Amino acid sequence: MSQDIHQTAYLVGNFFVSDIYAYYQDTYKGVLGKVQVEALDYIHRSEKASIKELATVLNISKQHASKIAGKLEELGYARKEKDPNDGRGTLYALTETGSRFINEHISMSNRHFS
């Protein structure tokens, strides 16, 4: 029984990644790379994220996460903020432009899924 549940979960996960999330990521093609999309999506879901969080969630180095966050900032999708819990820390949050950008792509993906 347990093996059936695991196999079903695997198949559902594969379907989600290949048929739903892949389309969502593909709507960004030409604008952002895969990891940048994942970073933008994570910041959107968590409201604010540190470089350390991005590195952990995306399974990349802090240096790479810093470059990605910098690119999102350069494009006007994210902004730096001081971390209120750590005077030396920095958090990234979406700008209004970034929120509109990601919501547009979520809407496109939802229409495709429907």
Structural domains counted in the chain: 1
Distance, CA of 26 to CA of 35 (rounded, Å): 12
**Secondary structure letter of residue 57 according to DSSP:** H
pLDDT tens for the chain, residues 1 to 114: 566 777 887 777 766 666 666 666 676 667 788 888 889 999 999 999 999 999 999 999 999 999 999 999 999 999 999 998 888 889 999 999 999 988 988 888 778 777
| CATH code where residue 45 lies | 1.10.10.10
Residue 108: predicted pLDDT? 80
Secondary structure (3-state) at 17 = helix
Range(s) of the domain holding residue 84:
2-113
Task: Tell me the whole-structure pTM to 2 decimals.
Answer: 0.75
Element spanning 82, H or E: strand 78-83
